[in-house]
Amino acid sequence: PAVEFGLEAPFEIEYHDAIGSTNDRARELAGEGVADVVVLADEQTGGRGRLDREWAAPSGGVWASVVTRPAVAPLRAPLFTLAAAVATARAAREAGVDAGIKWPNDVVVPGGGEDSNGPEYHKLAGILTEMEGETDRVEWLVVGIGVNANVDRGSLPDGATSIRDEAGDVDRRRFVQRLLEEFESLRTDLESVVPAWSDLALTLGQRVRVDRPSGEVVGEAVDVTDSGALLVEPDEGSEGSDHVTVAAGDCE
Ligand code: BT5
């Protein structure tokens, strides 16, 4: 059952000590017509990443799903993912973590090492946005935000890091409060999202390999469009020389 979390956040909070997936609960609420509620849990037993991947969500993390009903076209939905990544990175930086963003949904920390694709990063947080709607209008959006806060990196998959390991434990109430305040200010001024994102982006100007539903693109990430898609200049021979716009995919 949900219990009091004690926040002044610009959203109502439904807090659970443990739950399967906060996104599943948020989708349920969205289906009931709810808006501007955040489902928050200390632990998830069935956390989900994108594409049916598992998301490790032990006790001590920040596992949150925001239910929102924005008056925008589905094309603009990726902006909410970018906004959540910016809000998370900003809150993590205030907590002393050197956080940046890897398109589209990874909040990462430089890991010191380097491989053939450039510097190595450890993943601090991920975003899973789910949506229902028509072609011209979003019905609801659930923006799931998973932050490895006060957990040991050893209890997470390889390649992950946590606020605890980078900078020591945070006051999770304060962290969530700051994250949601930042998210609120971005989502009420969608024009500000892409510039804010670009300031924190580690992907721009780098060589990327993007897996997308229609095939792989290898090239240089040159920009982000107004709707939050990545603009890639493909290597010669891989897709011709025109820029390719990638709205969804994985970035290496
Ligand atoms: C994501 O997926 O990064 C989205 C994660 C969203 C989690 C939140 S928690 C609140 C809400 N409720 C949910 O059930 N989900 C959302 P993706 O880009 O597909 O990355 C998944 C991959 O990251 C996995 O295949 C693992 O390799 C790795 N991974 C799993 N757990 C991790 C963790 N805690 N930290 C870092 N990496 C992790």
Report the phi/psi class of residue 6: left, alpha or beta, with left for phi > 0 and alpha for psi in -120 to 50: left
CA–CA separation, 19 vs 39, rounded Å? 10
Say how many Å lie between the CA of residue 143 and the centre of ligand 1. Answer: 13
**Domain at 207-251: CATH architecture:** Roll (2.30)
Query: CB-based contacts of 110: which residues, under 8 Å, 6+ apart?
Result: 98, 100, 119, 120, 121, 122, 202
ipTM of the complex: 0.99
- What is the CA(126)–ligand 1 centre distance, in A? 5
Residues framing ligand 1 (Cβ under 6 A)? 21-23, 44, 47-51, 53, 55-57, 63-65, 105, 123, 126-128, 144-146, 148, 156-157, 160
SS (H, E, C) 121-190: EEEEEEEEEEEEECCCCEEEEEEEEEECCCCCHHHCCCCECCHHHHHCCCCHHHHHHHHHHHHHHHHCCH
Domain map (residue ranges) of the chain: 12-200, 207-251
Question: Which ranges of the chain have pLDDT less than 50?
Answer: none
CATH topology of domain 12-200: BirA Bifunctional Protein; domain 2 (3.30.930)
Task: Take residue 20 and report the two structure tokens written for it.
Answer: 């399967």
- Whether the pTM exceeds 0.90: the reply is yes
DSSP 3-state assignment of 76?
helix
Q: How confident is the model over 172-204, as pLDDT tens digits? A: 999 999 999 999 999 999 999 999 999 999 988
Q: Which atom of ligand 1 is nearest to the CA of 56?
A: 31
pLDDT digits (tens, 9 = 90+) for 37-51: 999 999 999 999 998
Q: What angle do CA 174, 178, 179 make, to 5 degrees?
A: 115
Report the atom number in ligand 1 closest to the C-alpha of 160. Answer: 36
